Amino acid sequence: MRHLSKHGFTMVEMLVVIALISILIALLLPAIQAAREAARRTACSVKLKNLAIALHAYHDSGGKLPPSAFYKNGKNLGDLETQLVEVKPGDNTPGPTLAPYSFFIRLLPYIEQVHLYEQIDFVNNEAFAPGNTSLAAKVVPVLNCPSYRGPASSSAAEYGSKYPAITNYKALGATTLACLQDQFSVTHGLLNGGTLHPFAAYSFNTLKAPTQTAVLAETKEEKYAAWFDGTTASIPGFHPATGNVADDRTPSPPTAAPALNMGGHAPATPFCTAAQWRDFGSGGIADDMQWGPSSEHPGLVNHVFGGTETRSIANDVDPAAYRAVISRQPDDNVEIGENFK
């Protein structure tokens, strides 16, 4: 009678199999992670595009874009002669420190948030009146990048226990912090102002080439990025302390650096210190703003342009090109370069 012998894996064979499986996982994991990040980046671009479409819908309804910040009854900072350097995030005290609403609130009816919009009393309440606190804490999914890994609400000291929800998108209000803060630059048409500025409401009609003018950009700022608060809803595209941006029509390139993914906590240099934001004012932010235009996408930041196109801009974008695409002026736009994907 024949006896069939049973052969199992030896210990050595088992170890070889385990080693091969480990190598395959190690080879496949980066590819899987890259595919997932690519999907998140695409989803982020779709959200930005939806916001741009909402801006167009708002523009079509009234002929103008919203200012990046406004008060009850639709007044903007310029109407009330309020200085951005005096305004404090989350402040509900009547006077120069009063925090404004963010332009995102104007877009709520166009991003499937009509119910939330209808709960806000623009006639009687300022942004952080007690009746709005719970509304400011609501997370609006279209305002968050899928790759963002930070907290869902702001822990900035100014907000106390209000904890307003974070957005990962901000208006590119100007090339420089000085232009963002200065009403004079807006009223006299200087060439470093962006499309969504805190002091005035502009129109897409002022843009010679909307498809080459960036309107919104991502940010991974965790404190001063409350979607409800107009105080910090708009940011400059250049780092405040890296040089001179100069005039858009100046032949020489700017010496300042685009602020794409420039920032972070100590020992890194923050995007904008509290002192820089405050400038000559007594208000402003109490802590440093760690990030300006920035993202969790490796090496780039998603932007949306005035024609609703989304593009990923590399961290090392040419400064002159980035200055030109932020500015709203009709004759400074340049052809999209290799850093605009």
Stronger pLDDT, 124 or 196, i.e. the higher one: 196
Q: Flag whether 197 is in a domain.
A: yes
For residue 266, what pLDDT band results from cuts at 50, 70 and 90?
Answer: confident
Reply yes or no on whether the pLDDT at 62 is more than 60: yes
When the pLDDT of each residue in the chain is averaged and rounded to a whole number, the result is 83
Facing residues of 141 across strands?
A: none
Reply yes or no on whether the pLDDT at 339 is more than 60: no
* Contact predicate 163/89, CB 8 Å: no
Give pLDDT, residue 331.
Answer: 53
Best mean pLDDT range from 74-83, 111-120, 244-253, 268-277: 111-120
Reply yes or no on whether the pLDDT at 31 is more than 50: yes
Q: Flag whether 29 is in a domain.
A: no
> Per-residue pLDDT averaged across 261-272, rounded?
85
Q: How many domains does the chain have?
A: 1
Question: From CA 235, how far away is CA 287, in angstroms rounded?
Answer: 16
> C-alpha distances in angstroms, 293 versus 186, 276, 303?
22, 17, 9
Among 96-105, 287-296, 318-327, the minimum mean pLDDT is found in: 318-327
Give pLDDT, residue 227.
Answer: 96
Domain that holds residue 184: 50-326
Q: What angle do CA 193, 199, 148 make, to 5 degrees?
A: 70
Give pLDDT, residue 94.
Answer: 84
Q: Flag whether 168 is in a domain.
A: yes
Stronger pLDDT, 321 or 246, i.e. the higher one: 321
Among 87-96, 160-169, 239-248, 279-288, the minimum mean pLDDT is found in: 239-248
* Contact predicate 187/116, CB 8 Å: no
Q: Flag whether 45 is in a domain.
A: no
Q: Flag whether 39 is in a domain.
A: no
pLDDT-above-90 percentage for the chain:
40
Of 60, 228, 59, 198, the C-alpha closest to 135 is: 228
* 283 CB burial (10 A radius; 0-12, 13-18, 19+): buried
Among 22-26, 69-73, 274-278, 279-283, the minimum mean pLDDT is found in: 279-283
Q: Are strands 101-102 and 69-70 parallel, antiparallel or unpaired?
A: antiparallel
pLDDT in tens, 162-194: 899 999 999 999 888 888 887 765 554 556 788
Q: Is the bond preceding 267 in cis, omega lying within 30 degrees of 0?
A: yes
Question: From CA 140, how far away is CA 51, in angstroms rounded?
Answer: 12
Q: Flag whether 219 is in a domain.
A: yes
Q: Flag whether 31 is in a domain.
A: no
Reply yes or no on whether the pLDDT at 335 is more than 80: no
Global pTM value: 0.85
Q: Flag whether 321 is in a domain.
A: yes
